[in-house]
């Protein structure tokens, strides 16, 4: 049950209060955000327009890129605008919307990474059954389940936050609305809510990380029986995925597994999984995946115009 709140807006302190540093933040993160949108859009367009990138791995990669672009868009634009604003305010409704979308697309990114690991497991460990197990219908169902689970997860975080009364103060020492910073502002005992939060978000991050690492251990162990060329290609793909997993889950676990404990560095650590990782994913997959680089080269050489590209979706 939601409690009535006397707070109509929150004030975000952002990453710094120094005017000169705020100007630098505006320039740097604007470039990061535009590069994130461009890189992830380029991956989606490349996969959608290339007949050689129709495997389930690239099907899941389009959703990872889409989730990356949306995930970054939940926090980066507000951070960029606030860096040039005197008052970094966000309405109560806007704060709750941001909280919901951050957890929605963050959860979806986690689930897509798990689907990509499962795809690699089937492809390497059960190659004869790969086309049967990972057919188009199954891939579509798995992605749909991911959307549903993400909605349930983010809804639980939203309802958990709305169950807390906010009477003031309304200053959040962060650059976006998240559950833990908001709990510090609640005018009631939030210990139970914090435990529920950690058992949800913390458990999701930690268990997903363990599952992903275990799956890649199994995959790498099974490579012993593969030929040299097969091992090389599989290792290249798996190393790319492992790098993404470590970059994303390290900061998430640090933030979401500490009940009723916050540090001043939390907001800086959050930059890694909300802004840096969505930026790095396109670079990692294009630089480490030969098929994507080749398809991008062909796309560029054809000089396909945007209107023609949109017609392929």
Domain boundaries, the chain: 9-310
Torsion angles phi and psi, residue 172, rounded to 5:
-105, 120
Angle at Cα 287 formed by Cα 116 and Cα 69, nearest 5°? 60
pLDDT band at 1 (very low <50, low <70, confident <90, very high): very low
The pLDDT value given to residue 64: 93
For 83-97, the pLDDT digits (tens) are 988 888 999 999 999
Whether the per-residue pLDDT at 17 is higher than 80: the answer is: yes
Residue 124: pLDDT band (50, 70, 90) is: confident
Under DSSP, is residue 158 helix (H, G, I), strand (E, B) or coil? helix
Check whether 189 has a pLDDT greater than 60: yes
Q: pLDDT at position 194, please?
A: 76
Using CA atoms in the order 86, 87, 88, 93, what is the torsion angle rounded to 10 degrees?
Answer: -150
In this prediction, residue 313 carries a pLDDT of 46
Res 3 pLDDT > 60: no
Residues 6+ apart with CB under 8 A from 204: 107, 110, 153, 256
Residue 259 in this model has a pLDDT that exceeds 70: no
| 66-85 average pLDDT score | 94
Alpha carbon distances (Å) from 56 to 60, 124, 211: 6, 13, 20
Q: Looking at per-residue confidence, does 170 or 298 come out higher?
A: 170
Inform me whether the pLDDT recorded for 304 exceeds 80: no
Of the pLDDT bands very low, low, confident and very high (cuts 50, 70, 90), residue 223 is confident
Average pLDDT for the chain: 84
What's the mean pLDDT in 48-66? Answer: 88
Residue 310 has pLDDT above 70, yes or no: no
Q: Is the model's pLDDT at 50 over the cut of 60? A: yes
Q: In CATH, what is the architecture of 9-310?
A: Up-down Bundle (1.20)
**Residue of 181 and 228 predicted with greater confidence:** 181
What percent of the chain is modeled with pLDDT above 90?
Answer: 35
Torsion angle (degrees, nearest 10) of CA 256, 262, 264, 268: 10
Judge whether 95 and 193 are in contact, CB under 8 Å: no
Q: Note whether 180 and 187 are within 8 A (CB).
A: no
Task: Name all contacts of 50-55 with Cβ < 8 Å and 24+ positions apart.
Answer: 50/295, 50/298, 50/299, 52/291, 52/294, 52/295, 53/291, 53/292, 53/295
pLDDT of residue 241: 77
Q: Which of 7-16, 97-106, 209-218, 292-301 has the highest mean pLDDT?
A: 97-106
């Amino acid at each position: 049950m939601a409690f009535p709140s006397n707070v109509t807006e929150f004030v975000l302190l952002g990453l710094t209060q120094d005017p000169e540093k705020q100007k630098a933040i505006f320039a740097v993160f604007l470039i990061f955000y535009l590069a994130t949108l461009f890189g992830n859009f380029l991956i989606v367009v490349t996969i959608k327009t290339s007949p050689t990138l129709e495997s389930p791995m690239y099907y899941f990669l389009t959703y990872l890129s889409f989730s990356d672009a949306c995930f970054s868009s939940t926090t980066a634009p507000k951070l960029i605008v606030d860096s040039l604003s005197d008052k970094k305010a966000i309405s109560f409704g806007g704060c709750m919307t941001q909280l919901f979308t951050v957890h929605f697309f963050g959860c979806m990114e986690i689930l897509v990474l798990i689907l990509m690991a499962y795809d690699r497991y089937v492809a390497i460990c059960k190659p004869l059954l790969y086309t049967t197990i990972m057919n188009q219908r199954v891939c579509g169902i798995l992605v749909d389940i991911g959307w549903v689970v993400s909605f349930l997860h983010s809804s639980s975080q939203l309802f958990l936050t709305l169950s807390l009364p906010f009477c003031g103060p309304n200053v959040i020492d962060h650059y976006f609305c998240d559950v833990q910073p908001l709990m510090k502002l609640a005018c009631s005992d939030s210990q139970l809510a914090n435990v529920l939060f950690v058992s949800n978000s913390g458990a999701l991050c930690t268990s997903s990380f363990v599952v992903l690492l275990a799956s890649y251990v199994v995959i790498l162990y099974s490579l012993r029986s593969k030929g040299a060329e097969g091992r090389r290609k599989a290792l290249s793909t798996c190393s790319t995925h492992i790098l993404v997993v470590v970059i994303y889950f390290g900061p998430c676990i640090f933030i979401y597994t500490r009940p009723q404990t916050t540090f001043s560095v939390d907001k800086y650590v959050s930059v890694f999984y909300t802004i840096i990782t969505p930026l790095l994913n396109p670079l990692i997959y294009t630089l480490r995946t030969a098929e994507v680089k080749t398809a991008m080269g062909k796309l560029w050489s054809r000089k396909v115009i945007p209107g023609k590209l949109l017609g392929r979706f």
